[in-house]
Each structure stands twice: as C-alpha cells, then as structure tokens.
Amino acid sequence: MASVKRVEHKSGRVVYRIVICQGYDKQGNKLVKNLTYSVNQSATPKQQEKEAFKYALDMEDKIKYGYDFDAEKMSFEDFAYKWLESVKDNIAYGTYTGYKQVLESRIIPYFKGYKVAYIKTPHIEAFYKTLVSDYSTGTIKRFANVLNLIFKTAKRYSMIENNPCQDAQKPKRKDEDEGLKFFTPKQGLMFMKSLDMSYEVTYKGHKRIDDTGKPYYVNDYVESYTVPTQYKVFFAISLFCGFRKGETLALHWGDIDLKNKKISISKSVGMTENGFDYKEPKTKQSVRTVTIPDYILPLLKQYRMEYMQTRFQHGTAWRGDMNNGGNLFIQADGKLMGHTTPYQYFTKHLHRYNEWVQNNPNKAKVENLEELPIIPLHGLRHSCATLLNSIDVNIIAISKTLGHSTCSTTMNIYAHSFEEQQEEVAVKLNEFLQIHA
C-alpha cells in the first residue's frame, strides 16, 4: 500500500508526498517511487486526502502493470504513444487517426530526442514557428491541441509541475484571416443563384485514342457547363439545413419525407477502422429531424426523377446501396459519393463563378452578382447558423437544427459572427421606440 503524507507549504499550498513500493532488488533493497501530488487547493482537508489517496492508488496500479511514468527518464516519443493508446477507446476513430497523423508527421520527429521533463514553453513556441510556412492557422491549432492534451495528461500524472503549452503563444500568419469563414445571407443567395448559371469551360488541345487504338489530336474547344442537380441538392441542404458533410453524405432516400417535408439524421460517414464508412453521429443531439425549406423541395423532386432514371439505365451494373431507398449522393455507378468529392467540386465551382464575374462585370452588375469568398465546404454550415440568426431564429432552435449538444456550444462557436449582427438589433429597437414611445 502506498504511503501518503500531507505537506503544507508556508504559502499555504498543500501537496501530498506519495511513496510507492515497487518491490526489492537482488540485494534485498527496497525499491520505491517518490511522487508529489498537488491537490485542489479550495477543497476541504478531508476531500484533499481522499483525492490524494485515489491518485496514489491509480499510480500504484499503473506502476504495477508496467506504466512507470518518470518524466526525467521517459522520452517524449514513448509517452506520446502511451497517451495516444490511452485515449483511443474514448474518442471517435477518425479523431484517433487524426491525432496519430499529427503526432507522426511533425510532433514526434521534432521532439524525438527530448525527455518529457525537459520540454519547456520556449521549446513549444519554437516548434510552432516551424509550422508557419507549411500550415494554416487552423492546422497549427490542431498541432497545439494535441500537444496540450499530452502535457495535460503528464501534469495529471505528476510527471511535470506545469503544462508548457499553457502559456505558449501560437504564431499568426499575416496572409490569413482569422475566425470562421462563411457566406453572409446575401452571399448565400448569390451562391444558390450561381448554381443555376451556365458556364463556358475551355479545354486545351490534347491527344486521344480511338476505338481501334489509333491516336489522334483534338484542338482547343469550348463547352457549356451547368451544375448537376445532385450537387445543387447537396449544397442547398448544407446551406439551409446546416448538416455536417458526413451527415449529408450518409443520407438515404428513406431519410427524406417529401410529403411531410422532413429530413432525418441518424448516421454519418467518416473514418472508421474499416476505412470511410457509416458511423454514429457526432453527439446524441446530432440524431434529429429537420424541416425541409420549400425552396429545396422542387430540387429534391427533380433529383429523385433523375436518380431513378440513372438507376434504371444501369440495370444490373448498378453498384449502389439497395437499403433504405439507396444513397442520396452517389458516384456514376450508384456507389456512395467519395468523401472528398463535394469539397473539391465546391471549391472548383466558386473559382469558376468568380472568374465569370470578373469576365462579365456588366452582366454581373445587372444581376446583382459579386465575387464570393473562397470558404471551406463546412463554411456552408456556418452560413446556415448565421442566416438563421439574422432572421431572428432563437438560439435554442438554431442549436437543435445544427445538432449541437448544448446551446452554449452554439454560442461559443458563433458568438463573434452573432455579435456582428447586433447592430441590426439596435436599428430595430430604435424603429420600435420611434413608433411607440
């Protein structure tokens, strides 16, 4: 049984000295592990003692089963992998693989020669600086988050006194705008209008091979291009219903109730141990039913007709899921649409539309069209939240639509963009007072 002794410093800070017996060496000398544990300073003495004994028992078990965490002896690499394995069962598989990729790509190679105890805040900041030229601010924050979790665990195990990540400053890229990227309500309407436009696409001359195997050359040519209906549906759902990409990709026709204007979210698509596959939604609140705006209904009906026609034409060559009416968003042969496909198409479309605006300024002006910011696909979900807030939908309804676990989650994410719209509140209040005061 571990020995636990209370020590109170002159400053009033309370710690517990813990001695854990690890058996005896060949000469019969007792092997001990000395630890210092800082308890919750605001707790009562009895609560502090209980907390310290619990920690001592946890550490005794860890040491007994081979997890002796000596910060001065253990390399960062060893501890990082032990930490990763310890959190694996408590996080989504996609999150686990993301952590692993972040660790192995840059973090472990950089800190490979360090012992856990000797990594300080300046080392963390120096590491951050090596990322600036290669990664966005958002990606650098992902690296910082993983490092922080690792050292937070090291502190909890009393391997270190302080978390070196706590006060480390992350560099800012001058060429990047911080914060969420999304369309304003006006830009969102422009984006939807851009999906109905026709674009001329120029193809450069290239070689081809005919059915007999004989090569021939095709000169430059121009083709008129329109956005396929399934992409219009995908982007409309993302913008007006606020679904996550994985939730939208996972939709089946059986999840769409056109009669009652409802869409049911019960699953998602993401990284699993079997590759990209169906999985549980992000939170319990993510399982939800959302009303379909009337604007989307004609699109869905048109796409349903095109979908059934395509399926009929393929016959036995159809490779789509036959359950629950089949996948809503598909590849040419009916298979589930690739997880990167909508993002790639979305980005390509924004560039194509902006190029049209640049080349046709008079037409764009007449039709009240302007260039759109290049936002990530997830920005359509942010755009939905901003749009709902701008038309005075209350925060509870917005949170339920987005499938957040709590309203505070919604506020934490969108506080800044919501604040920018508070000027409209003042305008409306002034109008009310002028009429009724």
Query: 349-361: per-residue pLDDT in tens?
Result: 999 999 999 999 9
pLDDT of residue 369: 95
Q: Report the C-alpha gap between 81 and 431 in whole angstroms.
A: 61
Q: pLDDT digit string (tens) for 63-80?
A: 664 556 677 888 999 999
DSSP strands (E only) in 231-367: 256-257, 262-265, 268-272, 275-279, 288-291
User: What pLDDT does 187 receive?
Assistant: 94
pLDDT score at 108: 95
Mean pLDDT, range 169-183, rounded to an integer = 74
In this prediction, residue 393 carries a pLDDT of 86
pLDDT value of position 418: 65
**Predicted local confidence at residue 278, as pLDDT:** 84
CA distance 139 to 152: 20
The verdict on pTM exceeding 0.75 is no
Residue 26, pLDDT > 70, answer no
Residue 267 CB burial class (10 angstroms; 0-12, 13-18, ≥19): buried
Q: What's the rounded Cα separation, in Å, for the pair 307 and 229?
A: 10
- Kindly list the distances between the CA atom of residue 278 and the CA atoms of 264, 327, 391, in Å, as whole numbers in the listed order: 15, 12, 34
Across 122-150, b (16+ Cβ under 10 Å) vs e yields ebbbebbeebeeebebeebebbbebbbbb
Two tokens, residue 341: 């496909």
Residues 362-408 have pLDDT tens digits of 999 999 999 999 999 999 999 999 888 888 888 898 899 999 888 88
On the 0-12 / 13-18 / 19+ scale of CB atoms within 10 A, 238 is: buried
pLDDT digits (tens, 9 = 90+) for 91-120: 888 888 889 999 999 999 999 889 999 999
pLDDT at residue 175, as a whole number? 56
Residue 338 DSSP label: P
The per-residue pLDDT for range 271-288, each reduced to its tens digit, is: 777 777 788 887 788 899
145 or 23, greater pLDDT? 145
* 85, pLDDT greater than 80: yes
Q: What is the mean pLDDT of residues 221-244?
A: 94
Among all chains, which residue has been given the structure tokens 């809503």? 328
